Structure 1
Amino acid sequence: MLGLMQDRPLLISAILEHAARNHGGAKIVSARADGSLVRHSWPEVAARAAQLAHALAARGVRQGERIATLAWNDHRHLEIYYGVSSMGAVMHTMNPRLFPDQIAFILKDAEDTHLFVDPTLVKGAEALADKLPPSLKTIVVMGTEADIPADCPLRSRFELLAQESLIAGQPERYDWPELDERTASSLCYTSGTTGEPKGVLYSQRSTVIHGYAVLQKDVFNIGAEDVVMPVVPMFHVNAWGIPYAAGIAGASLVLPGPRLDPASLHRLIEEEGVTFSAGVPTIWTALLQWLRAEPGRRFARPPRLVVGGTALPTAINAGFLKEYGVRILHAWGMTEISPLGSTNARLPQNAGWDEDRFLDYARKQGRPVFGVEFRVRDAEGKEIPHDGVAFGELEVRGPWVAKAYFNRPGDPAHTADGWFRTGDVVTVDELGCIEIVDRAKDVIKSGGEWISSITLENLIMGHPAVAQAAVIGIHHSKWDERPLLLVVPKPGMQPSAEEILSYYEGKVAKWWIPDQVELVESLPMTATGKLWKADLKQRYRERSAG
């Protein structure tokens, strides 16, 4: 017997219509490159998204056609998010920080027909002109005609338009199609730091369900009263689903644009009353350091923060809480899982813990949210015990987890029984909380045992002289690999190797302590703000620990 409930498809257009119809009082604030602000509402976003859809339909854009963006977090990007996907085309966000060859590869692989470019990135697009694929016919600058340089060389090869001219005069309502909810909605590529980028193709259904999941109390806890600022880029995994979650909740959005320096972010938080924000550790670490250097700077109303991408050092988490009253929730995810997988929210079992104990525990990536299942297996395929000690690779499955890569049907990313292999090496404790101890490709294999580079990095970040740190494995004739610690010291400090290594004593096993320390001016980062371990390994491939 089947239930007698109505069956309506889960569609992104329904989110937009809901927000416009029921939450007209919420604000959409968008920061320009010069720091000035543009203000809209959800009804205005819906009207402009409809105009964009009409303009694209008039140009012959069909369902399933890929429409690319090279853009920051602003209102025009939000309109593309909703307008393109709601009409049944595929919004393809691209990371402008990737190398030109990677961007060209991604455009060719996706076979995009239109490319929307932020005015601040037009010069970069010009440099790509000779590498752009034949499928690409039109480039749209996300602004007015004044934002297109008069001598722009792109004119000679592509139709070059301004977004405001494109949508001008178009109707402000669109009869959104009732799509199959499994229809593709957006496309995002992995960063490709260890090979060619791979496309992850999200569906209308997966996007809406993921948006619901993000709203949960133990996840982002977003409601209609919230003012939400996604610092995580809109080109990265749909800004962790925040633009859709905000629409479902009817929350206000503050879109920070290209300026993500601490002063600009602090100004937006204070002036716009931001209650929630999400970003990678480098963003929050820089903000904390800036606050400490600006005596008297506080938060009138401390926002809730979420960190993901890589682990946040306990010292940074503690600094925010104890000095500024800011609580940070640690979340984990991947491009392939939309990206939400787990959060480390408090449990009844944590009752009675003092702040220091929970701050130490909060470095872990948490427990799976409803909708995502975790499985952790060792090298022999056996599930590991939940003792916080045994290591294994994390595998996941769920309704917003990719079942294949775009244009790569034979990629061996899944197990025979359909679980996605994350490549993360984790432990699981008695509360079911995972802790990522390394990427499978980054774990240091020394004398038949594993050493977690992430654990060593997070610990040394508590040293008063350390600004940044990275640990990689280097060759050793006896032990196969040994840890090399690379440290960016804080300004004006020049700690000795002995001083740095002594900080590990009593915190890790002696054989975990790195054999060598090297002070460096900077560390390479990926386009999504993570340590670029592959680059470091290449640089130090000839280094030996003995």
Structure 2
Amino acid sequence: MAENSNPPGSMQSWPLLVTHALEYAARWHKDQEIVCKTVEGPVTISTYADLNQRAKLCALALQKLGVKPGDVVGTLAWNTTRHLEAWYGTMGIGGVTHTLNPRLSDADIAYIAGHGEDRLILVDATLLPVVARIAKELPLLQAVVVLTDRQHMPDHAAAAALSVPLLCYEQLLDEAAESGALGSFTWPRLHEDSPAGLCYTSGTTGNPKGVRYTHRSNFLHALITTAPDALALSASSTILMVVPMFHANSWGLNFSGPMVGARLVLPGPYLDGENIYQLMHTFKVTVTAGVPTVWLNLLQHMDKHKLALRHLQRVCIAGSAPPRSMIQALEKHGVDVRHLWGMTELSPLGSLGTLTSGQIGDGLTHDDVISLK
């Protein structure tokens, strides 16, 4: 059934678009903070109102570069505010955000970007050499945009290594702002089944396989993950987005965080134990998620320096099974450990190891609970 074709008296039809989550955050939680440890080093603090406005500027810039509904825009970047802006800016105008994993080989990245038909690639400056090495293998590539400002743009040698134009993200946004088009710009009302994201998994036989997400699938997945027996997110949460956005949508946190107006903390490329602890401590992080390796490094850093987790309430772990010793070590700090399972094809979370109502009433010991987890 086409949208808006409901019979008279039916509930209103409202497409489930990821930009609705962003608009909600910008309207009702406009001053909520988004903390970012930038690729360039300094920590910046912006708001959801800023994110919405800059995502719209990004959308205008992408349209000027020729991006149309259905076009694929690749990103090779860490978890930063600029990357988040580009996600919403691309998806909001009907483009498809295609995350590229910098941890893969050049051959795999070239295959994924080529097979995904990426027309633009937005890249962090530190990852530009990867794009320079594979650009000639991407016949549809029209330009590369570096997610930085003029001051930190790579030198001319980097541009000379590319066969397509090398553009500055902040300069493109400045030009969009100067055009005066922002005042009349509104997010288009797309069909909720329009493609929004593209993510390839290398956990397969043969070449990496791609999964195309829709606005509807992303929205519903984000909505489910906010529930109390899932990640239990709310406007009072401070979420450290450890899971990279190129790892299956950061497990949906880039949508579910704005959906509830949570405070976001974006670590950039700094995922070592010391930096993770410093961000948690400084910004009083209450919820986070990531693979076991991250928490192993964090616990080792804390043990070495005799540190405590004073604000963290919940850690969600997936990617591989956390060892029992890790669960016990985190829970000694008063942290609720939740074990997740999922696949790229599931957006990606599929199941979550929280206790059922029957188990809660069974008089389980703490040791029993850890065994179940």
Give the alignment's TM-score, normalised by structure 2: 0.93
More moved, 263-272 vs 184-193: 184-193
Corresponding residue for residue 147 of structure 2 = 142
Check if 1:183 corresponds to 2:189.
Answer: no
Corresponding residue for residue 310 of structure 1 = 320
Deviation at 1:15, TM superposition (A): 1.2
CA RMSD of superposed structures (Å): 1.6
In proportion to residue count, which structure has more helix? Answer: 2
Deviation at 1:123, TM superposition (A): 2.1
CA distance in 1, matches of 2:86, 2:14: 24
Which whole-Å deviations, capped at 9, do the CAs of 1:425-453 have from their partners, x for residues lacking one?
xxxxxxxxxxxxxxxxxxxxxxxxxxxxx
More moved, 220-229 vs 191-200: 191-200
Identity %: 38
Corresponding residue for residue 112 of structure 1 = 118
Asked if structure 1 preserves the Cα contact closer than 8 Å seen for 2:135 and 2:141, the reply is: no
Query: SS of the residue aligned with 1:158?
Result: coil
Deviation at 1:195, TM superposition (A): 1.8
Deviation at 1:350, TM superposition (A): 2.5
Corresponding residue for residue 284 of structure 1 = 295
Give the alignment's TM-score, normalised by structure 1: 0.64
Check if 1:169 corresponds to 2:179.
Answer: no
CA distance in 2, matches of 1:79, 1:314: 38
Asked if structure 2 preserves the Cα contact closer than 8 Å seen for 1:187 and 1:199, the reply is: yes
CA distance in 1, matches of 2:164, 2:40: 28
Q: Which residues in structure 2 correspond to 1:99-498 (within 5 Å)?
A: 99-131=105-137, 133-155=138-160, 156-170=162-176, 171-173=181-183, 174-192=185-203, 194-295=205-306, 297-322=307-332, 324-351=333-360, 352-362=363-373
Deviation at 1:153, TM superposition (A): 3.9
CA distance in 1, matches of 2:243, 2:289: 6
CA distance in 1, matches of 2:369, 2:153: 52
Which whole-Å deviations, capped at 9, do the CAs of 1:44-74 have from their partners, x for residues lacking one?
0000000011111122211000000000000
CA distance in 1, matches of 2:90, 2:313: 32
Deviation at 1:299, TM superposition (A): 1.7
Deviation at 1:280, TM superposition (A): 0.6
Query: SS of the residue aligned with 1:125?
Result: helix
Query: SS of the residue aligned with 1:128?
Result: helix
Check if 1:49 corresponds to 2:58.
Answer: no
Deviation at 1:192, TM superposition (A): 4.6
Going from structure 1 to structure 2, the CA distance change for 1:46 and 1:172 (only over 3 Å counts) comes to: farther
Aligned length: 359
Deviation at 1:291, TM superposition (A): 1.4
Q: Which structure's relative contact order is higher, taking Cα pairs within 8 Å and 6+ residues apart?
A: 2
Query: SS of the residue aligned with 1:201?
Result: strand
Matched to 1:161, the amino acid is: L
CA distance in 2, matches of 1:145, 1:36: 16
CA distance in 1, matches of 2:55, 2:334: 38
CA distance in 2, matches of 1:228, 1:152: 39
Q: Who wins on radius of gyration, i.e. which is larger?
A: 1
Asked if structure 1 preserves the Cα contact closer than 8 Å seen for 2:36 and 2:43, the reply is: yes
Asked if structure 2 preserves the Cα contact closer than 8 Å seen for 1:71 and 1:118, the reply is: yes
CA distance in 2, matches of 1:186, 1:302: 31
More moved, 63-72 vs 344-353: 344-353
